[in-house]
Structure 1
Amino acid sequence: MSEAKHPLSQRDFAGYRGNPPNPRWPNGARVAVSLVVNFEEGSEFSINDGDANNEAIYEVVHQLKGPDSCIDGHFEYGTRAAWWRIMDLFDAHGVKVTVSSCGRAVERSPELARDAIARGHEVSAHGWRWQSHADMDEASEREVIAKTVAAIERVTGQRPVGWHTRSATSPNTRRLLVEDGGFLYDSDAYNDDLPYYHEVSGKQHLVLPYAFDTNDMQYYNAGRFSGQDFADYVIDAFEWLTRESDTSPKMMSIGLHLRMIGRPGRIGALDRILAHIAGNSAAWIAPRAAIARHWKEVVPAEK
């Protein structure tokens, strides 16, 4: 896939045109499953932290223009209680995941990022603050990327090789990631069930698409969305992709957030999902960096 398919647009509606490559996932797996834990707590906007406004997207309906200890507390729950519940569950099922981490969250709770590394998970980059990059100027965005990488590397001892922007990117984001030179992949796409290469500044850059539907943010979007609803939806998606993979292996992303899935009434959904998928020979559960490295080895970019 190239940067421009038409002089008026950079969009690509064709993709693999119904003929995707076979990535030959390890051990004959049919679906590569990527569990992504978004570690954002402490990077959200909060007047109590000196910001001009509070984070506006969450389950709390009543939002204040001044300091809001209520919404602050919901985010704090993620690092105080939910982290340990989620990570212990991953250990119980023997799965490794990607912890998509905002630099400021890592800086404020470094013990959590180190815990992720100690348990064998990938720590990738999710921006400095939990914010869109859509309106950032190039110089500011370059600084944000460098600052995020430096914070994660300083705390964990490992440089992040993956990037995901909160929602919309700027026109410069992907080019800046490529220019940085240290990124194996980005996840700033929602347009496919398989990784693909995208030409950026004459280089073939790997994109691992993400997903919002198999994502626990649906608890926010649908107030009566139960744990069983979420488990059923994710398992249904996995089963359908497995069915399609008779002829075309696929990749599946499951997006999680500490303050969402980590609640006692919701963690059971993740337990049911893992019980169904982790013991299934059709699944290869792996961090995104491992999926990216495998893809590059088996499906090399065109010259």
Structure 2
Amino acid sequence: MSRDLKGYFGAEPAPCWPNEARLAVSFVVNVEEGAELSIGDGDERNEARYEAVEEVKGAPDPCMESHFGYGPRQGYRRIVEAFERYGVTATFSTCGRAAERTPWLIRDAVERGHEVACHGWRWETHAGWDAGRERAVIARTHAALTEIAGIAPVGWHTRSATSPHTRALLIEHGGFAYDSNAYDDDIPYMEGDHVVLPYAFDTNDMRFSPGGGFVQARDFSDYVIAGFDRLYAEGATTARMMSIGLHLRIIGRPARIGGLETVLAHIAATPGVWIAPRRDIARHWAMQQAGTA
């Protein structure tokens, strides 16, 4: 009975973004390559969720590892070049083990002005974890990304399900201004002084996975643009935020990157849009709620 199913119903906040923007847009690039579960890396099992649908049990799976390897080898370049053409600054939500294996990629993202945020140590859910185990993983991930990126991350997003302790542990850690472990709104909200920036699985390239509904690049761009146009219209009278989720190994494929480029072109041609890393959106929202913006 502790779930909040009402949210802002009947009292949605007024538009509040910088320069009277009608919509805040957050591009999130998930960096998970090298952090997926792999027996070849000494993990307890192999990752089973991806375009390679044949699950290998009890033995290393070089096929799955190679699929993930495409992201840093080719996908990253296409994505950041598309961002560069449209002047977009994004959030790179990064697993700690992935950062350890691709430090050059993380440092390049930072040099380009992008945010690096925490996405867990391995690419895995935290459901069922005890507080001690989770506290240690949060600290390890934050420390590793701080060292590699040269800037302390302020955001966190667990893959799928969190534990009941996750948000409290993030606040306890003291290094986090926000988390994205929610999917329940188009508006940020506060948990005390902590900002919750809801994420989205529908406006997300993960839907290119088998059964996800996206096949052609235009499937992604058509759907994301439809969501953008609706939120932009609503943003005339109430605060609205849009999350667009990307993955190096998914949208970075040659037949899909055009979908992202189409989305970027459409947003760039629309006035009154604030595209920002999640750290900036969280900071602005917290200041608005405190009356200091």
Short-chain TM bin: over 0.9
Alignment of 1:187 with 2:180, yes or no, is yes
- Alignment gaps of 5+ in structure 1: 1-8
Partner residue in 2 for 1:252: 242
Identity of aligned residues (%): 57
Partner residue in 1 for 2:217: 227
Structure 1 stretch 187-196 or stretch 79-88: which is displaced more? Answer: 79-88
Of 24, 29, 32, the match for 1:37? 29
- After superposition, residues 231-242 of structure 1 pair within 5 angstroms as 231-242=221-232
Q: Give the drift of 1:165.
A: 0.4
Alignment check: 8 A CA contact 1:23 1:295 kept: no
For normalisation by structure 2, the TM-score amounts to 0.96
Alignment check: 8 A CA contact 1:23 1:299 kept: no
Alignment of 1:56 with 2:48, yes or no, is yes
Q: Give the drift of 1:80.
A: 0.8
Partner residue in 2 for 1:205: 194
Instruction: Provide the rounded CA distance (Å) in 1 between the counterparts of 2:79 and 2:63.
Output: 23
Q: Where do 4+ consecutive residues of structure 1 move more than 2 Å?
A: 221-225
- After superposition, residues 285-300 of structure 1 pair within 5 angstroms as 285-300=275-290
Q: Could you say if the C-alpha distance between residues 23 and 243 of structure 1 is closer, same or farther in structure 2, counting changes exceeding 3 Å?
A: closer
The one-letter code of the counterpart of 1:181 is G
Of 118, 122, 129, the match for 1:125? 118
Instruction: Provide the rounded CA distance (Å) in 1 between the counterparts of 2:88 and 2:143.
Output: 27
Partner residue in 2 for 1:116: 109
- Alignment gaps of 5+ in structure 2: none
The one-letter code of the counterpart of 2:79 is I
- After superposition, residues 66-105 of structure 1 pair within 5 angstroms as 66-105=59-98
For normalisation by structure 1, the TM-score amounts to 0.93
Instruction: Provide the rounded CA distance (Å) in 1 between the counterparts of 2:149 and 2:63.
Output: 31
Q: Give the drift of 1:222.
A: 2.7
Alignment check: 8 A CA contact 2:75 2:248 kept: yes
Q: Give the drift of 1:69.
A: 1.1
The one-letter code of the counterpart of 2:217 is G
Structure 1 stretch 212-221 or stretch 61-70: which is displaced more? Answer: 61-70
Alignment check: 8 A CA contact 2:193 2:286 kept: no
Q: State the Cα RMSD in Å.
A: 1.2
